[in-house]
Amino acid sequence: MQLKAIGQLLARVGTAFALASGACALMAAGTAQAAVTSHKLSGIETQISCLSSSSCVAVGERGNRGSVITLKNGTQSHTATLRGSSLIYSVSCPSKSGCWAIGDPKSGAGAYLVKINSAGRVTSARTIGVPAGADLGRISCSSMSSCEVVGTDIFVSPTAIEIGTWNGSKLHVYRVKGVKGGVALSMEGISCWHADCEAVGDVLAGSSEHGLILTTRNGRPGKLHKASDYSLYGVSCVSASRCYAAGYRAASPAGLVVTVSGGVAGHLQTTAGDLFGIECAGSKCVAAGEVLNTEPPASQIYDGVLLTLSGGTATGSPQVVAASGGYSGIASRGGRGFISIGAPPSGSGTEVTSG
């Protein structure tokens, strides 16, 4: 499986512009934009989560194997490549005690679950069986024994959603019927507030993309809601009933953040570029994505962009980060800012941008 947001970034910047990881500080409303510094890494890391303000874990792929990278203050401190996996899609660190990551096994079907300890090191990894056709790519954990995963099932028509729980030893998956007449359904993000979670994605129905929002409680899926004419790529929940989702509207090109209340899309904030991830602390959020580069060199097609919001409304202008070629995700650094992950401005490898 190739998640749509990751696939779009790869297609736009080409194989020479590999996805990478970066870091950013939370921007305060009405203040100057934050200064950033960059560090060069290798590999293709596409998602990130943090154990503390100084320790984070990035995941992706290196040499056709899944990768787990430990970052200390934005600098790579340890690299693990996993022989049993071809790619790790996402990671969730619910506390300083550890993280869970999910990806594809190297061969055969199933979900590849990776346990990571408080030092950001892999302690175990194994393939877990899933229903035929199920492909799981996103994970969100409220504790090391309570996680939720989401993906799709391509063996049914229309494509269904597979969503389930992982308690550290057992995976239980539910199937949710897809959108009638919909094609190219993809689930891009999931966020949990204790036992309440929201999963987001999109589907092509007719001639338009439509955002999807699926609420679950204690692992049980509720009603699937459709949001018209835009795609949703990332989500962050701040309570059992309030979340904020980030995405893109193609019809009138713009990034967007939508307030989700009780599983239903509400207030919509648009901005320049595409937004692929969002992270919130209470009503304060930072969304991350990409914008077309308007400055030399011509070889840099995209810049990273960060947008600070309060209550779903932007508190200032987007911050363009030339040190990045575009962000694909973002995470909180223990309540002391945020760390985003995306593409380097040019060349191969990975770039960490700290601020």
Give me the residues paired with residue 17 across strands.
none
Which residue type, as a one-letter code, is found at position 221? P
- Closest CA relative to residue 178, chosen from 155, 208, 198, 144: 155
Cα–Cα distance list, 353 to 22, 251, 279, 300, 315 (Å)? 4, 31, 17, 16, 22
Question: What is the topology classification, in CATH, of domain 4-354?
Answer: Methylamine Dehydrogenase; Chain H (2.130.10)
Q: How far is CA 6 from the centre of its chain?
A: 9
Q: Judge contact between 136 and 111, C-beta under 8 A.
A: yes
Q: Considering the entire predicted model, what is its pTM? A: 0.90
> What residues does each domain of the chain span?
4-354
Report d(CA 66, CA 58) in Å as an integer: 11
Cα dihedral sign for 203, 208, 209, 211? negative
Tokens of 300: 């840099």
pLDDT tens sequence for the chain (355 residues): 345 555 544 443 333 232 223 333 333 333 346 666 677 777 899 899 999 999 999 999 999 999 999 999 888 999 999 999 999 999 999 999 999 999 999 998 999 999 999 999 999 999 999 999 999 999 999 999 999 999 999 899 999 999 999 999 999 999 999 998 888 899 999 999 999 999 999 999 888 899 999 999 988 999 999 988 899 999 999 999 999 999 999 888 899 999 999 999 999 999 989 999 999 998 999 999 999 998 888 788 999 999 999 999 999 999 998 888 889 989 998 878 888 888 888 877 777 676 5
